[in-house]
Amino acid sequence: MKKYSNIFLIGLLAFTLGMPIVRAENPLPEGTDSNTPIVTNEDATPGDIMQNAQEEIKVTRAEVEAQIEKIRDDAKQKISDLKINATKLKNKAKGVLAQARILGRENALERFDQAIEKVSGLKDKVNTQIEKMSAQKEGLDMKPAQDLIATADAKIIEAKSKVAEASKILSASSNDLTKDQKAELKILTKDAQAAISDAHKALMDAVQYLKSLNVVVNTPETPNQ
């Protein structure tokens, strides 16, 4: 079903983050001709394979985030419209109640957005730290930290997806939620919270690993949860 498309893409992204991707051999890829040298699976070097994997991950991540962002933006617009419509209700008491309900939903979604933004900022700091340490001292094994960042990255996108799905439910109308909607929201919010927590833990593990390398550079501060 369509509403699960983002969850499927999250799974696909997690798979690409966990395994190198080699494109299937194509005798004549689009944009090439018979004189264009083609790197096939058989003669690809480890560097070629890694580059292909990194490019595939970037494309997949961008596609997923674009879809999530569109869902979230659409929901924000719908909530804005609901707020306006609530002020136009002839029954003033119902209008006030609808406005309060919409505001509560909007605030709840914004708190999730802020939590995701906070952990995303930490991820950027850890990435910067890896770059600084690698530049300062050659030969450091950064793969453990990079793997943890990849894990955090997938969890951040998962959290964004869950919040986007929740925003679709909360922006559908200003009416009371149905029993099924409440049950689905409970699952989505629980999953979003778990994904944010998992991302934070992976990043803290990355920070601890970087500290264990004993390279004297400034390390990211640990934010309070």
Q: Reply yes or no on whether the pLDDT at 126 is more than 60.
A: yes
pLDDT in tens, 27-41: 444 444 545 444 445
pLDDT in tens, 133-175: 988 888 889 999 999 999 999 999 999 999 999 999 999 999 9
- In the predicted model, what is the mean pLDDT of residues 204-225? 75
pLDDT in tens, 180-206: 999 999 999 999 999 999 999 999 999
pLDDT in tens, 107-124: 999 999 999 999 999 999
pLDDT at position 57 is: 63
Q: Reply yes or no on whether the pLDDT at 2 is more than 80.
A: no
pLDDT at position 142 is: 92
Contacts with 223 (C-beta within 8 Å, 6 or more apart), sequence order: 118, 122
pLDDT > 70 in the chain, percent:
69
For residue 142 the two structure tokens come to 């950064």
pLDDT at position 45 is: 62
Mean pLDDT, the chain, whole residue set: 80
Q: What are phi and psi of 31, to 5 degrees?
A: 90, 5
pLDDT at position 135 is: 87
Q: How far is CA 59 from CA 12, 17, 163, in A?
A: 12, 12, 22
* Confidence tier at 18 by pLDDT (50, 70, 90): very low
Q: Following CA atoms 156, 157, 159, 160 in sequence, which dihedral angle do they give, to the nearest 10 degrees?
A: 120
Q: Reply yes or no on whether the pLDDT at 15 is more than 50.
A: no
Cβ atoms 215, 133 nearer than 8 A? yes
Closest CA to 199 of 14, 9, 46, 41: 14
Mapping DSSP to helix (H, G, I), strand (E, B) and coil, where does residue 46 land? helix
Q: Reply yes or no on whether the pLDDT at 218 is more than 60.
A: no
pLDDT at position 137 is: 83
